[in-house]
Amino acid sequence: MKTRIIEPDHFVHRYPLLIKHLLETPIIYAPYQQIIYRDSICYTYSDLAGRVAQLANALESMGVTAGQTVGVMDWDSHRYLECFFAVPMMGAVLHTINVHFSKDQLVYTINHAQDDVLIANADFLPLLEAVRDKINTVKKIILINDSREHLSTLLKLDAEYETLLADNPEAYTFPDFDENSLATVFYTAGTTGGPKGVFYSHRQIVLHTFCVMAALSGFSSQANISSADVYMPITPMFHVHAWGMPYLMTHLGARQVYPGRYEPDMLLHLKTKEKVTFSHCAPDILHMLINCEAAKKTDFSDWKMIIGGSVLSKGLCRSAMQLGVNLFTGYGMSETCPVLCISNLKPHMSDWSQSEQIDMRCRTGLPISHVQLKVLNEHGRSVAWDGKTTGEIVVRAPWLTSGYFNDFEKSSELWEKGWLHTGDIGFIDEDGYLQITDRLKDAIKSGSEWISSVQLENIVSEHPSVSQAAVIGVPDDKWGQRPLLIVVLKPEFRDKTSEQDFKDFFLEYIQNGKLSKFAVPDKIVFTESLAKTSEGKVNKRALRRQYIC
């Protein structure tokens, strides 16, 4: 294959794909557009650009050079947004620290990422105090303190964020460098093993931004996103760059609202006050939002919302749509920057009934631009797009992690045969929509049949008494494995709901062919809560430890 490669002469400028360029357009298009932090801060994109330069000057003055790592521990804030830009733009690496990690995980990830400087919200000082002597590489700590009151701490703090910025000039010449330079790193606990680091280059983040834009702005669907939207993240910025949306919405010059720590009252207050039109969140947060006290006084209409992180159940989708939320699914992983699929409806589906639309909105979705996605059978061959044949989902895209940070063996497993293995099982339907049916590790093999825990959980979510539910496989002498259903009932249904109620409920699904009789759990356990991972997902590994003796 000998194509003719363009080799520019030395005098030709070569244009690398760098995060700094994402910030250039909005400064021209929307310099007066607002960025809001809770009830306390409102500033413009011009201010953002000035503060990004101040932060870069400040970090440089504290000794941060290209190639060094800056760890951030904060809730979702305008300051985090400043770090999203300033740190990679100066050639340093942004480590977005998961503040839900245990102390051990925190120590492990900060040491493993070799953070040179930490920027930490006052809320996390007690945590940091407790582990400071186990952290090896951190030379300086910068405090973020919303209250601006004096703090008593045993930690040596080197600067306070706002004072630091005020002391530094609002101009900085961000240099050009290789677009494959490391921009961000963060850790995923996953459901097995210790935290694993994933990492992304400038090129990857820029291309991810554009391809998500193609899916949300270019392809006309149930919910198009543009610079006219008002954006508020409800997936943490430490979790896969809040799905990369802060980069996209900043590039578009949209109005943005950063809510700090996620408190239902504050989120709904900001939704109303700032007229938020676009968010993304996980099912449990959505569940909390629509069921909290403030929800009764909130107008949920004109709120486009992408749901990801775990499966969006049809029951939750219906409840939210009845309130006016325009919601649909996004699919991705920490390893994939993250977006792979979005459940955009095709034009002919706009005439469908709400119930048919919900089926599609809850689908895992269509692969976005530049995502190549295959479902492989046990022989490693692509299965037909028939809406039923399942297999492991593998992907290629320009923005997948090149592996796990300093872990050759797990990296080579992840990238077996040149495709990133998602560890998810699913099928593709005739229209090209992916549907995940299970995690590879969570799938239940019973006799010679696979039983989908996700399908069962989805059905159970439609039962009026259910707050949350999980299905795991438990050993069975005859069948190998059988499904066990674990249910958290809504308070008002406790002591009023029995195993038999669910068995009757399943009967309906069996009768209309939506569930095989074989898949009905033999046993149902009622409990008060489900174990969760630090990323807020149901922790099936913990459930298996708990329920399988």
- How near is the Cβ of 270 to a copy of itself at its closest, in Å? 21
Tell whether residue 402 is a contact of a copy of itself (CB under 8 A). Answer: yes
Buried b (16+ CB within 10 A) or exposed e, 366-389: bbbeebebbbbeeeeeebeeeeee
Closer by beta carbon to a copy of itself, 122 or else 394: 394
Is 416 an annotated catalytic residue?
Answer: no
Tell whether residue 549 is a contact of a copy of itself (CB under 8 A). Answer: no
Tell whether residue 1 is a contact of a copy of itself (CB under 8 A). Answer: yes
Tell whether residue 484 is a contact of a copy of itself (CB under 8 A). Answer: no
Burial zone of 63 (CB within 10 Å; 0-12 exposed, 13-18 middle, 19+ buried): exposed
Q: Which of 335, 392, 457, 535 is catalytic?
A: 335
Is 188 an annotated catalytic residue?
Answer: yes
Contact 435, 455 (CB under 8 A): no
**What is the amino acid identity at position 429?**
D
Q: Pattern of binders to a copy of itself over 109-148, x per CB under 8 A? A: ----------------------------------------
Q: Which of 96, 109, 184, 188 is catalytic?
A: 188
Tell whether residue 406 is a contact of a copy of itself (CB under 8 A). Answer: no
Q: Pattern of binders to a copy of itself over 352-371, x per CB under 8 A? A: --------------xxxxx-
Residue 405, C-beta contacts closer than 8 angstroms, at least 6 positions apart: 112, 113, 185, 196, 197, 198, 199
Site for a copy of itself in 56-95 (CB under 8 A): 65-67, 91, 93
Give φ, ψ of 541 to 5 degrees: -65, -45
Sign of CA pseudo-dihedral 488, 489, 494, 499: negative
Contact 531, 539 (CB under 8 A): yes
Q: What distance lies between CA 308 and its chain's CA centroid?
A: 7
Inter-helix orientation angle 283-291/264-273, to 10°: 80
Of the candidate spans 260-268, 410-418, 489-497, 509-517, the one that interacts with a copy of itself by CB under 8 A turns out to be 410-418
Site for a copy of itself in 148-177 (CB under 8 A): 175, 177
Tell whether residue 21 is a contact of a copy of itself (CB under 8 A). Answer: yes
Contact 78, 258 (CB under 8 A): yes
Residue 219, C-beta contacts closer than 8 angstroms, at least 6 positions apart: 344
Site for a copy of itself in 40-59 (CB under 8 A): none
Is 437 an annotated catalytic residue?
Answer: no
Is 273 an annotated catalytic residue?
Answer: no
- How near is the Cβ of 333 to a copy of itself at its closest, in Å? 16
Tell whether residue 259 is a contact of a copy of itself (CB under 8 A). Answer: no
- How near is the Cβ of 210 to a copy of itself at its closest, in Å? 4
- How near is the Cβ of 370 to a copy of itself at its closest, in Å? 5
Contact 265, 41 (CB under 8 A): no
Q: Which of 134, 445, 503, 523 is catalytic?
A: 445
Q: Return the beta strands (E) in 12-85 as ranges.
A: 34-37, 41-44, 69-73
Q: Pattern of binders to a copy of itself over 196-215, x per CB under 8 A? A: ---x-x-----x--xx-xx-
Give φ, ψ of 506 to 5 degrees: -60, -35
Catalytic site positions: 188, 335, 445, 450
